[in-house]
Amino acid sequence: MPLIPGTFLVSRAAAELEVLWWRENAPTTMDDPDWAGNAHNWGQRLLHLEVMSKPTSLPYSTCDLYRAGWPTSALEGARWIDYRPSWEGQGPDIHSNQTLFAFEAWNGQRWLLPFGAIWPGFATNTLFYAAILWLLFAAPFALRRRLRLKRGLCSACAYPIGESVTCTECGRAPPISRKSIVRLRLASTRE
């Protein structure tokens, strides 16, 4: 998916949970992050964390945690940029962890593909899409069967069958409706 466009505000202090996550996942030893910012766009979420420049005024390091998926996030990947080597005139160290694939499209747009599974989100989305597929493909048929039964028609071929247990046209036995069960019981108590 295309990267969340534009700039985002690094606008708040890093939360305690975010600091704990950073400590657990940082690829090298780093100070705790001070600042954080969030952005989201069409099923993408970005959490940006950064260590403010200490002890110099040069940038220290940042982490971008990408999450993707809708309605809930199902995939994640993180990219760390350690600017400390640039204090000695080298380029920054970029650590994409094993679950983020970044590439540039033909039009120069940057694409990021996180592929670390967030299992609860994965399960939620799977159920969500399965329900939509069921509504699209199975529900109309289920509704048609019910309507035919209600009208005294065979649920399979719509031939009028009245009180018959099996269809006189196609031979299938439609499920007996609750109404007809009541009718059968009444008939048997009358005898």
Task: For residue 78, list its beta bridge partners.
Answer: 65
* Residue whose CB is less far from Zn ion, 1 or 156: 156
Q: How far is the CB of 185 from Zn ion (least distance, A)?
A: 25
Select the residue interacting with Zn ion from 92, 122, 156, 164 (CB under 5 A): 156
Spell out a b/e string for 114-145, using b for 16 or more CB atoms within 10 Å of the CB, else e: beeebeebeebbeeeeeeeeeeeeeeeeeeeb
Under 8 Å CB-to-CB from 107, ≥6 apart: which residues?
A: none
Q: Residues touching Zn ion: how many (CB under 5 A)?
A: 7
* Residue whose CB is less far from Zn ion, 172 or 185: 172
User: x/- contact string, 164-183, with Zn ion (CB under 5 A)?
Assistant: ---x-xx-------------
Dihedral class, residue 131 (left if φ above 0, else alpha if ψ from -120 to 50, else beta) = alpha
Contact flag: residue 154 with Zn ion (CB under 5 A): yes
Q: Is the dihedral of CA 7, 11, 16, 19 positive or negative?
A: positive
Q: How far is the CB of 171 from Zn ion (least distance, A)?
A: 7
Q: Which segment (28-36, 110-118, 122-130, 149-157) binds Zn ion by CB under 5 A?
A: 149-157
Contacting positions for Zn ion (CB under 5 A): 154, 156-157, 159, 167, 169-170
